[in-house]
Amino acid sequence: MSKIDALFQPVTLGPLELSNRIVMAPMTRTYSPGNVPNDLNVAYYERRAKNEVGLIITEGTCIGHKAANGYPRVPFIYGEEALAGWKKVVDAVHAAGGKIAPQLWHVGAVRKEGVEPDPSVPGYSPSGLFKPGKETGVAMTKQDIQEVVEAFAQAAEDSKRIGFDAVEVHGAHGYLVDQFFWEGSNQRDDEYGGDLVARTRFACEIVMAIRERVGPDFPIIFRFSQWKQQDYNARLCNTPEELESFLKPLVNAGVDIFHCSTRRFWEKEFEGSDLNLAGWTKQITGKPVITVGSVGLNASFIDEDKRDMVDASGVASGNIEELAERLANEEFELVAVGRALLQDPEWVIKVREGRFDELSDYSKKSLMELK
C-alpha cells in the first residue's frame, strides 16, 4: 500500500456509505442568478461526482428567512424553483455515483441592506454586532430566533425530500450560528447569552428541530471553527476542557458528524498534543469528524484580506502524505478539499493515481468560472 491509500478506503458512517474519504468542501460561487441553481451548477457538481469525490457538500444555501442572505447570486434552499434546481443537482450527482449534502446557511450580521431578495432588510444577529465595537443591523428577538430555527428545520426537511443524502449546518466563520457562539458578537443577557454552554443554545435548538423533522437516520453534519472572518485569531475554546463543554451540548442535540474548520490542517490545536481540531473533536465526542484546511495546496499564497501570509508546507505530495498518515492513524474519518478541488475537478483521481505532476497550483482565476 502507498502512503496515500488511506484516503481512498470506503467508509460507512451510519446510513452514509461513501466510496472514499474525500469531501468537497463548501465554497461560495455566486453563479445562481435569481438564487436558483441552473444547468451550470448541475454540471459543476456532477463533474466532481464523476471524478470520484466521496461526498460533496454544496456551497452555502440560504434558508427561508428574510435576512439569511448576504451576497448576490447565491442559491437558496427554499421556494419551488430553487428546490427544483437543487433536485436536478442531486439527481445528476447520484446518477454519477456520488453523495451530496447542502450546507444550510444564515449570514447574520454579515448581511448589509441593499442585498437581495429584499434590499430593505438589515442584518439580524444576536446583539446587533458584527464584531466587538461594530454595530450593524438589529438584535434578534426571541420570536426572530424561533423563526430562524424553523427555517433551518424546514430547509433540512425539504433537502431530505428532494433526495439529498445529509445536511450540514453552517456554524462557522462568523456567520449567524457562530455569532451566537462567539462572545465578541453575543452580548445577550437572556438564555441565549452568557457562558460558552449558554451560547450553544441557539445551535442546539436548530439541530434538535432538524432532527425532529428528518428522523433518526438522516445524517446531520455540523461545521464549526475557532477563527472568524471578523477576527482570524478569535477562539471559542482555549483548552480541551472548554472544547468539551462546547461540543457535548451539540452531541446531545443530535449532531452526527462534526466538520472542524481550520485554516491549516497540520497545525496542532492545543499545547501538549499534535492533534488538530478535528482530532480533538473526535477524541472528546467519539463522533466521526471531517478535517479541512489548505489540503493539496503546494505554494505560498496570500489570503484575500492580505492579513496573513500562509505557507502551505511544501509540495502537494508531501502535504497529502501527511494528511493520509493522520487519517490512517484514525485522527479523523474524512478530509475536506476546497481550493485544490475547485482548481481541478479531476483532483481525486490524479492523487489516487499518483499523478502529482499534473496538479496545478491554485489560482484565484478558478473563482471566475464553474469549471
Over residues 60-118, the pLDDT tens digits come to 999 999 999 999 999 999 999 999 999 999 999 999 999 999 999 999 999 998 999 99
Q: Of 175, 192, 232, 362, which one is the catalytic site residue?
A: 175
* 316: nearest Cα among 295, 347, 337: 295
Q: Catalytic residue at 78?
A: no
pLDDT in the model for residue 1: 52
CA distance 290 to 260: 6
CA distance 184 to 234: 9
Higher pLDDT, 14 or 364: 14
Domain count for the chain, please give it: 1
Q: With pLDDT > 90 as the criterion, what percentage of the chain qualifies?
A: 82
Whether 292 has a pLDDT exceeding 70, the answer reads yes
Cα–Cα distances (Å) from 210 to 55, 77, 159, 164, in that order, read: 20, 14, 11, 14
> pTM to 2 decimals?
0.94
Helix axes 80-95, 39-50, angle to 10 degrees: 30
Relative to beta strand 134-135, strand 129-131 is antiparallel
The distance from CA 252 to its chain's CA centroid, rounded to whole angstroms, is: 20
The distance from CA 108 to its chain's CA centroid, rounded to whole angstroms, is: 16
Query: For residue 161, what is the domain's CATH number?
Result: 3.20.20.70
pLDDT in the model for residue 369: 83
- The set of cell numbers assigned to 132 is 466587538
pLDDT in the model for residue 300: 41
Over residues 192-230, the pLDDT tens digits come to 999 999 999 999 999 999 999 999 999 999 999 999 999
Over residues 302-358, the pLDDT tens digits come to 344 433 434 333 334 448 888 999 999 999 999 999 888 988 999 999 999 988 888
Domain that includes residue 292, residue range = 3-368
Q: Which amino acid is at 19?
A: S
pLDDT in the model for residue 370: 85
